[in-house]
Amino acid sequence: MSRLDTLKEQIRKALPDLDLVIGWERGFDPFHATPFHIKEEADIDRLIFDATCVHNLASFLTGLAGKKVGVVVKGCDSRTVVQLIQEKLIDRESVVIFGLPCTGVLDKAKLKAAVDLTRVSALDVDGDTVRITSGDETVEKDLKDLQATKCDSCKYPNPLEFDHLAGKPVEPHGDEAVQYDRIKAFEDTPVEERFDFWVGEMDRCIRCYACRNACPLCVCRDHCIGDSRDPHWLSQETDIRNKWMFQLIHAMHLAGRCTECGECERACPMDIPVLMFKKKLSSIVKDLFNYESGVDPTAVPPLFTFQVDEETINERGW
């Protein structure tokens, strides 16, 4: 039985006890998947799973409080679920987790750069090979070259928390160091250049809040301080200062919480590399507190606790 068939079977069995299961279906073209709700057995046939299933479906969980929900997760997505459980933002008892080992998902921007997407009629991923058909022509590409940047450094391809697992666990295939090398390279540029870089990026920001809305850990929802007057952290102007401030608020609020799912950056219509902020914070938290978010549902996030003597913090005694 294929991995997808196993998953369908698992959902079929569990569905009578659930209000709904969140999965992916094929979108409006071969390289898009769309999240959808499985509410009755007939819906199960629409379920898909392949490298186009980029969305972190755990993002929907906090909005479905009070319901008994099933959710299909990849390895990275499962960290979000763990984090939500840890922060008591969802109740473990009311969630059924269908886990899928993952070998990487596609990055649409990279795909777009590789082939002319307007004429694509079929897309098929087989192991490490991506087969793209445009008209009569079929080209083969290496998945490694087209996968999302986060997959390059993926450490957790297998779900960390699940009730059902479809398919055999896979070996981690990412190189964890890669992501930090990129940040290091950026930090090695002169500070004036970094300043100008972000001014340029933030100038392009259209303050659409797609990053926030896609973030599974932005649980404030209607009460985001980006929109509020009390407290009044930001004005509603779309100047660079306000937009930059918003991104840094978003990042700082995720310090020690972000599971690096990358939904913020994926959702950004302007392709602003906002994940860099969160990646950096995760590496700081790892260095300082030897802590990784979304791994242990019983751990306490490092900024909600302290040690009387902090061995890793050089106190500025001057």
Closer residue to another protein, CB minimum distance, 50 or 87: 87
Q: Closest approach of Cβ 273 to another protein, in Å?
A: 11
Query: Residues 3-42 vs another protein: string with x where CB under 8 A?
Result: ----------------------------------------
64 binds another protein, rule: CB under 8 A: no
Closer residue to another protein, CB minimum distance, 171 or 315: 315
Tally the C-alpha atoms within 13 A of residue 111's C-alpha that lie toward its C-beta: 23
Closer residue to another protein, CB minimum distance, 28 or 318: 318
Q: Closest approach of Cβ 306 to another protein, in Å?
A: 4
Closest CA relative to residue 152, chosen from 173, 170, 127: 173
Contact window for another protein (CB under 8 A) among 37-45, 46-54, 84-92, 144-152 = 84-92
Q: Closest approach of Cβ 107 to another protein, in Å?
A: 22
Would you call 207 exposed, middle or buried from its count of C-beta atoms within 10 A (0-12, 13-18, 19+)? Answer: middle
61 binds another protein, rule: CB under 8 A: no
249 binds another protein, rule: CB under 8 A: yes
Closer residue to another protein, CB minimum distance, 161 or 201: 201
Choosing from 127, 231, 290, 311, the residue that interacts with another protein (CB under 8 A) is: 231
**DSSP of 71-100:** EEE-HHHHHHHHHHHHTTSS-GGGEEEEE-
Choosing from 167, 233, 270, 295, the residue that interacts with another protein (CB under 8 A) is: 233
Give the total of residues touching another protein (CB under 8 A): 61
Length of the chain: 318
Binding site for another protein (CB under 8 A): 87-89, 183, 186-187, 191-192, 194-200, 203, 219-221, 223-225, 228, 230-233, 240-241, 244-245, 248-249, 251-253, 255-256, 276-277, 280-281, 284-285, 287-289, 300, 302-308, 310, 313, 315-318
